[in-house]
A and B are shown apart, each in its own frame.
Chain A
Amino acid sequence: MEYFVQQLINGLTLGSIYGLIAIGYTMVYGIIGMINFAHGDIFMLGGFAALILFLILTSVFVGLPVVLLLLVMMAAAMLTASLWNWTIEKLAYRPLRGSFRLAPLITAIGMSITLSNFIQVTQGPRNKPIPPLVSSVYNVFGISVSLKQILIMILTVSLLAIFWYVVNKTALGRAQRATEQDRKMAALLGIDVDRTISITFVMGAALAAVAGTMYLMYYGVIVFTDGFVPGVKAFTAAVLGGIGSLPGAVIGGLLIGLIESLWSAYFTIDYKDVATFSILAIVLIFKPSGILGRPEVEKV
């Protein structure tokens, strides 16, 4: 039982990271109907920005409190990743808006290749390990919970709360939802569609950067290829939860985190990704629009 709860906590931690990335996928998909394949690499980019900030801060200000260190790392990662995503949207995706559906997808795949290779070229192809930042572990009823896990979950929950508020309660969120429903009509009603879409990309990137920072802190290592697998898993999470739905993305992320850790714990770790992808396929076959997705009504 304790073992099970232990795995549950591990799974939820991992799932939080996937969920944070998945929100970026689901929002961009919701608003312009495009699979932003480069989003996983934006996550990786955020992780690298946090890594570099970590190295700057630890070499310049020795003995900085960990909380401050983490906050600055996160802020820098969010800023950098957002700027990248904003620029990419403007240069590569905007000219293709409203064109051929596959063109933005291919562009995004090209962007993904570009970003990971850009980091490889500028930062080198090797693993980048850092010393553990937060190492306290608490023992509650025989279950060990590390401070990192608590931090990740608290951060995910609070970010989601902020996010939920922005999307549901503010004018910006209303503009986003309107653009999602009908871009042309939203523009006619005076919504600056380009700006709304830009902000969506910026928001998604900021969340991915937070996930990147968490990832770096949790595993203590990052490499330029790290965008792909978490990216695909997060996208899987978004689809599993019902693409376009924000709570769906988080539920999908948590679900995938849980499947992965429980499968590794009780079956074989080698096939954990096979399990994840198989469950995705099975869910989609029986519920094609995902868990929380609106079923696509076939208009005849």
Chain B
Amino acid sequence: MAAGANLMNNDPILKVEHLSMRFGGLMAINDLSFEARRGDITALIGPNGAGKTTVFNCITGFYKPTMGMISMTQQSGKKFLLERMPDFEITRDAKVARTFQNIRMFSGLTVLENLLVAQHNMLMRASGYTILGLFGYSGYRRAKEQSIEIAKHWLEKADLIERADDPAGDLPYGAQRRLEIARAMCTGPEFLCLDEPAAGLNPRESQALNELLRSIRKDTGTSILLIEHDMSVVMGISDHVIVLEYGQKISDGTPDEVKNDPKVIAAYLGVEDEEVEEVIEQIVEIETKQGGQI
């Protein structure tokens, strides 16, 4: 449903080619290739332990992949090979931001300060790497005001404006999730990686999250890659779904295509390949029965 708006520039923003990641004897990712298109919301799904977070950590530089290439092409056409860059440069230069499965807040800083830390690099430049700022350089003062405006914008988007001056550690779980996304957006990313943003949210919060993600894409044109277990989020907002199992891609397509892929069903239900047909038959049977009852 959402794909239509971005048909114009459907070039890939992120290209993962033959990515492999080995931990000791364990092959966490095995020859994985996929693409995320500009302006799309791409979802990465799969059973627990399929290697989704490892893919994220490779993209964002927290792990160095054993093999493979990850390239990111910015709107301007500038291309970055992410597997060669240290993590902070991936955010700073390649404009890839991320959130974490276990929320990582600066819990002793206020909500507003969290968002200002995210604008560190812009503010550092504006303050002449601290030296000019120390002497009250006016350009820095302007940049500071601007950074607060940006923070305010995202606080409003994430519905956190009321809590701006509270310590981040004091926020309820759902608000912390939204704050983490707002914080990532304050780095001005072109590509946003969200690791289970809906985990632990109640249905209403999940709905609000959907809204937030849609508006991020619509207003900023940021492409999104998300790992998610909550199928209402995945099917509701993503344009493109990639399914991983045991570190390999088993399916890749639109939500509808993936939903009906026998391999995906088998992966989620945990059956051998030969039994897939059988399982699908059973599912169909159950569905028709239920349908009949209604």
Nearest CB in chain B to that of A298: its residue = B62
Instruction: Check: A300 CB closer than 8 A to any chain B CB.
Output: yes
Verify if B33 is at the interface (C-beta below 8 Å from A). no
Size of the A side of the interface (Cβ < 8 Å), in residues, is: 2
List the A side residues contacting B53 at CB < 8 Å: 300
CB A240 to nearest CB in B, in angstroms, measures: 25
Q: How many inter-chain contacts with C-beta < 8 Å in the A-B complex? A: 6
Residue of A nearest to B102 (CB): A299
Question: A297: shortest Cβ distance to chain B, in Å?
Answer: 9
Majority secondary structure, A binding face = loop
A300 to B62, CA, bound (A): 7
Main secondary structure of the interface of B (DSSP, over half): loop
Q: What is the distance, in angstroms, from B260's C-beta to the closest C-beta of chain A? A: 34
Residue of B nearest to A299 (CB): B102
Q: Does B254 contact A (CB under 8 A)?
A: no
- Cα of A300 to Cα of B21 in the assembled complex, Å: 15
Nearest CB on A from B11, distance (A): 29
CB neighbours (8 Å) of B57 from chain A are: 300
Residues of chain A in range 270-300 having any CB-CB distance to chain B below 8 Å: 298, 300
B100 at the interface (CB under 8 A from A): yes
Q: Which residues of A have CB within 8 Å of B63?
A: 300
Nearest A residue (CB) for B23: A297
B59-114 CB contacts (< 8 Å) to partner A: 62-63, 100
B23, chain A: closest CB distance, angstroms: 9
Chain B residues 186-230 with CB under 8 Å of chain A are: none
Query: Which A residues touch B62, using CB under 8 A?
Result: 298, 300
Please report which residues of chain A, range 45-69, place their CB below 8 angstroms from some CB of chain B when the two chains form the complex: none
Query: Once bound together, how far apart are the Cα atoms of A298 and B62, in whole Å?
Result: 9
User: Which residues on B sit within 8 Å (CB–CB) of A298?
Assistant: 62
The residue of chain B having its C-beta at the shortest distance from the C-beta of A300 within the complex is B62
Instruction: Please give the distance in Å from A91's CB to the nearest CB on chain B.
Output: 30
A-B contact pairs, 6 of them (CB 8 A): A298-B62, A300-B53, A300-B57, A300-B62, A300-B63, A300-B100
In the complex, the 3 A-B pairs of residues with the closest C-beta atoms, listed nearest first:
A300-B62, A300-B57, A300-B100
